């Protein structure tokens, strides 16, 4: 099973939010934030937890992710953050890359981050994926 960050990348690309490893426009990256392009989205995996049902046949994973959205304009970057939240929360119970997702839910954000040395603004969104394996 993929890390949630890889599945979220695919979900956001399919939703038209950005392009994986793009060098211009809205680029989507996993695990690192390159200096270019100016408009970038990076997805980080965070430590989650697992639970099993009583007969131990189904494992539910609670996998949090952090998404950092960097851009040049306040409003454009905020709107992109809200579009990401909407894309994550659009479907309930769906399969993606071999995993059965029960739900994505935003847990924090968007929270405004600091501007970098090039005056690019960032917003931070934290979300949690609930997925199951049998």
Predicted TM-score of the model (pTM)? 0.89
The per-residue pLDDT for range 7-40, each reduced to its tens digit, is 999 999 999 999 999 999 999 999 999 999 999 9
Q: What is the dihedral of CA 36, 37, 40, 44, to 10 degrees?
A: -30
% pLDDT > 90, the chain: 67
Domain covering 4-133, topology: STM4215-like (3.30.2000)
| Cα–Cα distance for residue pair 30/47, rounded to 1 Å | 15
For 93-126, write each residue's pLDDT tens digit: 888 888 889 988 888 889 999 999 999 999 999 9
Query: Which carries the bigger pLDDT value, residue 43 or residue 107?
Result: 43
**What ranges do the domains of the chain cover?**
4-133
């Amino acid at each position: 099973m993929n890390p949630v960050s890889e599945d979220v990348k695919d979900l956001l690309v399919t939703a038209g939010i950005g392009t994986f490893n793009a060098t211009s426009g809205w680029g989507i990256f996993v695990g690192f934030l390159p200096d270019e392009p100016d408009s970038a989205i990076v997805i980080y995996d965070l430590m989650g937890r697992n639970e099993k049902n009583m007969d131990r046949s189904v494992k539910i994973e609670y996998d949090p992710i952090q998404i950092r959205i960097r851009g040049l304009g306040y409003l454009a970057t905020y709107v992109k953050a809200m579009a990401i939240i909407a894309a994550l929360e659009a479907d309930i119970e769906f399969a993606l890359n071999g995993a059965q997702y029960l739900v994505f839910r935003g847990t924090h954000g968007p929270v405004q981050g600091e501007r970098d040395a090039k005056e690019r603004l960032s917003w931070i969104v934290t979300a949690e994926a609930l997925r199951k394996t049998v």
